[in-house]
Chain A
Amino acid sequence: MLVLRGPARWLAYLVLATGIVIIIGPFLWVALQSFKYEIAILQGSWIFTPTWFNYSDVLYSHRSDFPTNVWNSVVVASLSTFFVLIAGTLAAYSLSRLRWNRWIARTFLGWTLIFNMIPPLTLIGPWYLIFREVGLYETLTGLVLAHITLHLPMTIWMMMAYFNEIPKEIEEAARVDGCDRLDAFWRISLPLVTPGLIAAGVLAFVFSWNEFAVALNLTSRATATVPVAIARFAQQYEVQYGQMAAASIVSTIPALILMFFGQRFVVQGLTMGAVK
């Protein structure tokens, strides 16, 4: 590990502090606004009397759809994460362990990589047309399917890194001991990639929770998710800054909790294979 001394150390602290301020600053500013009345926000006051009004208005008011939006987000993020983990883990296991023709494996992985690089907005048009045809437009099912498609490549790549880390002899030993391939996967490989499942699951959930563009275009007022709902606090004739700030803070809670518990696995997962 690099140990800094003297002025270099202070410079490092300064850079670190600047980084933290840049990252945390906007969040703290939004948090501050969420405790102000509308007038205090518009006046830009730094001295104000804190209030829970915005939170109670967002969460308990009769005119607020926000609890429904939170529930929609919970459903979409949970279901898409669940199915992404199932499909991604099986695909990753297959690519890592089965003897696929090299060209088939490379074409598949190459395509997932390219798909991950395509801006999601380019996919929204076709999805809109398809979902309208099959009756999934403005439904949570449609959005879940879209999110599965969006987050599958990342999950496959992450889980592949985990499966590649398991020596194949361990599975072979299980096959000699009495397992068939499915048994060996279920009893040996899957428990060993649990950290990978946590990491990929946390990322897929957080990405789905935060996803805005696709959700905006494929949902209605009744099926809107949290990011879409937050954006709708800015109407044509009125911007509800306080409610918007409160909703933003509330929306970060699930992601913060997940990242708090899953951070270790996420960092490990993202750097898997980088160093031996």
Chain B
Amino acid sequence: MAEVKLENVHKRFGGAEVIHGIDLTIRNGEFVVLVGPSGCGKSTLLRMIAGLEDISDGTISIGGRVVNDLEPRERDIAMVFQSYALYPHMNVERNMSFSMTLRKERPEKIRQAVEGAAASLELRPYLERLPKALSGGQRQRVAMGRAIVRRPKVFLFDEPLSNLDAQLRVQMRTEVRKLHQRLEGTSVYVTHDQVEAMTMADRIVVLDKGRIAQSGTPLELYDRPANRFVAEFIGSPAINLFPCDVKGGRVFLASGNGAVDIGPTTTAEERIELGVRPEHLKPVESGGLPGTVQVIENLGAETYVILNAAGRDVCWRIAGRPQVSVGDRMQLGFDPAHMHFFSTASGARL
């Protein structure tokens, strides 16, 4: 277990800068998820922590020791790759024991470590098999077993579940989290899936074009996004965004039936954006945003109703099964306690 500290970390490929001075401290035993869209630099950052990419500028420390110039093997880390990266010519047992064999540990100690990890991951019947004879989920568990046997200070996960089918992914999500709690290691987990981030992280770091857009607990990010990018990225279905005008200290949302008065504001900007999570919309009799029901998505426990309102698709999420049909006209009201305002120019929260 160790603290991972990144100070003003930059990464340049030729002339192109992909990481722009990241400062981040991952505390002992913390499970931090780096999340962001493709190309935001999250995997590059993880690979820099692992030592698989050089650092153009800045400092990375693991357990108080600067590791900038250390080889991956000297950093006391374990990494689970998206493609599993198992050694195809070694059976499961040899895959899992490889790091200990390299360290020339006693055979008895190696056997105990491998059997312990195999038992916890339900891999005992497969120890003699080659990776090609395993299913995707089993391969993933072997990759995790390999990391466990290494007994590192820091676990690094690079989108480890993205090659699994949806059902297995949910199951493995829980497994990874349980593993983290049991081993009490420090974990850095990269994903582009915000559901994975929300469900697994102690803390989420949202990256946007090589910069930290926001860092905080999953609920902090959900309830109080620091900017439009985070608001859009975190939450499924995505937040509803409406362009609004500010007149005389009040916010107005243009709709088919004239402007809807949203409420007071102190901003000096003339045009801002209103963000409302789908579950924070509610049907009202009058004075709301008028819309027509386009699509109804029943998920059993909850329902997504997609309406056309103010010239855009708006998602209303409701528990249970609402009595609405496609083509119904209705008005949606906003809960003042759950409205987010963003600058149209900078995207920052107002």
Task: Render B146-184 as a binary contact track against A, CB cut-off 8 A, 1 for contact.
Answer: 100010000000000000000000000000000000000
| B78 lies within 8 A of chain A by Cβ | yes
Whether the pair A177, B52 counts as a contact (CB closer than 8 A) is no
Chain B residues contacting A176 (CB-CB under 8 Å) are 50-52, 72-73, 77-79
| B99 lies within 8 A of chain A by Cβ | yes
Question: What number of residue pairs across chains A and B have CB atoms under 8 A from each other?
Answer: 58
Chain A residues contacting B88 (CB-CB under 8 Å) are 170, 192
| A170 to B: closest C-beta gap in Å | 5
Whether the pair B72, A175 counts as a contact (CB closer than 8 A) is yes
Task: Render B75-88 as a binary contact track against A, CB cut-off 8 A, 1 for contact.
Answer: 00111011101111
The binding surface of chain A is classed by DSSP as helix
Complex Cα distance, B72 from A172, in Å, reads: 9
Whether the pair A169, B83 counts as a contact (CB closer than 8 A) is yes
Q: Interface residues, chain B, CB within 8 Å of chain A?
A: 50-52, 71-73, 77-79, 81-83, 85-89, 98-99, 102-103, 146, 150
| A136 lies within 8 A of chain B by Cβ | no
- Supply 21 A–B pairs (Cβ within 8 Å), ascending by A: A169-B83, A170-B87, A170-B88, A172-B52, A172-B79, A172-B81, A173-B81, A173-B87, A173-B146, A175-B51, A175-B52, A175-B72, A176-B73, A176-B78, A177-B78, A177-B99, A177-B102, A177-B146, A178-B98, A180-B73, A183-B102
Whether the pair A172, B85 counts as a contact (CB closer than 8 A) is yes
Known: A177-B99, A177-B102, A177-B146. A169 touches B85 (CB 8 A): yes
Whether the pair A167, B83 counts as a contact (CB closer than 8 A) is yes
| A110 lies within 8 A of chain B by Cβ | no
Whether the pair B85, A170 counts as a contact (CB closer than 8 A) is yes
| B23 to A: closest C-beta gap in Å | 25
Q: Interface residues, chain A, CB within 8 Å of chain B?
A: 167, 169-170, 172-180, 183, 188, 191-192
Complex Cα distance, B82 from A238, in Å, reads: 71
Q: Pick the contact of B73 from A167, A169, A179 — CB < 8 Å?
A: A179
| B318 to A: closest C-beta gap in Å | 44
| B344 to A: closest C-beta gap in Å | 42
Known: A178-B73, A178-B99, A179-B102. A173 touches B79 (CB 8 A): yes
Complex Cα distance, B235 from A7, in Å, reads: 65
Whether the pair A192, B78 counts as a contact (CB closer than 8 A) is no
Chain A residues contacting B150 (CB-CB under 8 Å) are 177
| A157 to B: closest C-beta gap in Å | 23
| A233 to B: closest C-beta gap in Å | 47
Q: Please name the residue on chain A nearest to B102 by beta carbon.
A: A178
Whether the pair B83, A174 counts as a contact (CB closer than 8 A) is no
Complex Cα distance, B88 from A179, in Å, reads: 17
Chain A residues contacting B81 (CB-CB under 8 Å) are 169, 172-173
Whether the pair B146, A192 counts as a contact (CB closer than 8 A) is no
Complex Cα distance, B85 from A175, in Å, reads: 12
| A188 to B: closest C-beta gap in Å | 6
Chain B residues contacting A177 (CB-CB under 8 Å) are 73, 78, 98-99, 102, 146, 150
| A179 to B: closest C-beta gap in Å | 6
Complex Cα distance, B150 from A177, in Å, reads: 7
Whether the pair B85, A167 counts as a contact (CB closer than 8 A) is yes
Chain B residues contacting A172 (CB-CB under 8 Å) are 50, 52, 72, 79, 81, 85
Residue from B51, B73, B82, B146 having most chain A Cβ neighbours under 10 A: B73
| A96 to B: closest C-beta gap in Å | 17
Residue from B50, B51, B52 having most chain A Cβ neighbours under 10 A: B52
Complex Cα distance, B81 from A188, in Å, reads: 16
Q: Please name the residue on chain B nearest to A183 by beta carbon.
A: B102
Q: Please name the residue on chain A nearest to B143 by beta carbon.
A: A173
Complex Cα distance, B83 from A173, in Å, reads: 11
Complex Cα distance, B146 from A173, in Å, reads: 10
Chain A residues contacting B50 (CB-CB under 8 Å) are 172, 176
Q: Please name the residue on chain A nearest to B78 by beta carbon.
A: A176
| A110 to B: closest C-beta gap in Å | 22
Whether the pair B89, A192 counts as a contact (CB closer than 8 A) is yes
The 3 A-B pairs at the shortest CB distance, nearest first, are namely A178-B102, A169-B85, A173-B85
| B114 to A: closest C-beta gap in Å | 14
Whether the pair B98, A175 counts as a contact (CB closer than 8 A) is no
Whether the pair A175, B89 counts as a contact (CB closer than 8 A) is no
Residue from A177, A180, A188, A191 having most chain B Cβ neighbours under 10 A: A177
Chain A residues contacting B85 (CB-CB under 8 Å) are 167, 169-170, 172-173
Complex Cα distance, B50 from A172, in Å, reads: 10
Chain B residues contacting A169 (CB-CB under 8 Å) are 81-83, 85
| B139 to A: closest C-beta gap in Å | 12
Chain A residues contacting B146 (CB-CB under 8 Å) are 173, 177
Complex Cα distance, B73 from A179, in Å, reads: 6
Residue from A172, A173, A179, A192 having most chain B Cβ neighbours under 10 A: A173
Whether the pair B72, A191 counts as a contact (CB closer than 8 A) is no
Complex Cα distance, B81 from A169, in Å, reads: 7
Chain B residues contacting A192 (CB-CB under 8 Å) are 88-89
| B90 to A: closest C-beta gap in Å | 9
Chain B residues contacting A179 (CB-CB under 8 Å) are 73, 102
* 10 more CB-based (< 8 A) A-B contacts, given A167-B83, A169-B82, A176-B73: A169-B85, A170-B88, A172-B50, A174-B87, A175-B51, A175-B52, A175-B71, A175-B73, A176-B50, A178-B99
